[in-house]
A and B are shown apart, each in its own frame.
Chain A
Amino acid sequence: MIGISSVVLILMGAGTGLVGALLGLGGGVFLVPLLTLALGVPIRTAIAASLISVIATASASSTINLERGLVNMRLGMALEVATTLGGLTGGLIAVALTQRQLFLVFGATLALMGVVMASRSGRRNVIADENVEPGRLGGRLREGDQAYVYRMRRLPLGLVASLVAGAISGLLGLGGGIIKVPVLNAFCGIPIRVAAATSAFMIGVTGAASAFIYFGRGDVALPLTAAVAIGALPGSLLGARLSHRVEARSLKLIMAVVLLVVGGRMALEAL
């Protein structure tokens, strides 16, 4: 029989999965603070549970994004080279930094990303001329009756951002979308919906790179992790469906606010 505490954890997983898929961030941004601050779960256990939950969320929402043609698979694979290396490294150095240092660095990073996102939310990264060649890492995007072309710019920057995102995934149990999506959108020319969908496509693989380490070390609390992951599945599917209805500019502004709030909260933990 599933107990009350499991029901609470399932609901928590559902809520964070929904918001994570809606914003293309992965639910870990909300799940780790919730588990540690609200329920007093040890941070390492929370990170491991978050990683597993993020893998479930990203895998489930990617099936919907693939159907919609929003995932740029070749771009995702190219960036996965960096995210998996980062994820593996992040998982290994997780014990080297104190939690205070981690909270401070990531809090500042998230807040900075929020500012960048908000200041560039009016930009469109697409070319109206359908005949323009998108290149190997670019693509075409259809919105209603209109087709657009986009090109990948500044690939080295995208790879560096992906490496950092992977490392953060391994260190803090986040999906890493919180770094990749703003950088891909604001600096690399990728439309926000494609950036979010391609990021989610990568997040499962990135999470797996470090999840093996947590799993192998015995840091995964099975009942807690299972409850959170079970909740994350329907939550993420609903979030992916709802994200289709959210206007691109609104999505950027919502993400900017989320980045600022979560960043500020994380930085406060370091004090």
Chain B
Amino acid sequence: MSARELERAIEVALTGGVALSGLLLVAGLALGAPGPLWWGVLLLILTPVVRVVVVTIGLILDHDWLFSAVSLFVLAVLLSSVYVAGRI
């Protein structure tokens, strides 16, 4: 995977996540419905996490083990945040 291809994949992940969450938030506000708002906010928070997953996969495919490990560490911190959020 070339650097440009990885950047393109990240752009798609970020644009897709933001667009979909934006639609849910607009729908939730327009309808006064908490369901789409809840999912829209959650999807927005998850969008950067998906971006980290995409980068990690790209780097593993590229056999860049040092930065794959760095990216996996970042992912682990994010997942531990989800775990902590569920405990407090």
Residues of A within 8 A of B (CB): 1-2, 6, 52, 55-56, 58-60, 62-63, 66-67, 71, 73-74, 77-78, 80-81, 84-85, 87-88, 91-92, 204-205, 207-213, 215-217, 220, 222-223, 225-227, 229-230, 233
| Pair A66/B70 contact, Cβ less than 8 Å | no
Contacts of B60 in A (CB 8 A): none
**Distance A212 CA – B11 CA, assembled complex (angstroms):** 23
11 more contacts with CB within 8 A, not counting A52-B44, A213-B85, are A52-B41, A63-B14, A73-B7, A77-B71, A78-B67, A81-B77, A88-B80, A204-B14, A204-B51, A208-B45, A230-B26
* Number of cross-chain contacts by CB at 8 Å: 142
| Pair B41/A225 contact, Cβ less than 8 Å | yes
Cβ-neighbour of A67 out of B6, B11, B38, B80 (below 8 A): B11
Chain A residue at smallest Cβ distance from B86: A216
| Pair B41/A208 contact, Cβ less than 8 Å | no
**SS of A interface (majority):** helix
Q: How large is the interface on B (under 10, 10 to 19, 20 to 34, 35 or more residues)?
A: 35 or more
Cβ-neighbour of B78 out of A67, A208, A226, A233 (below 8 A): A208
| Pair B88/A84 contact, Cβ less than 8 Å | no
Chain B residue at smallest Cβ distance from A58: B48
Contacts of A85 in B (CB 8 A): 77
Cβ-neighbour of A59 out of B48, B84, B85, B88 (below 8 A): B48
Contacts of B57 in A (CB 8 A): none
| Pair A60/B18 contact, Cβ less than 8 Å | yes
| Pair A2/B78 contact, Cβ less than 8 Å | no
Contacts of A63 in B (CB 8 A): 11, 14-15
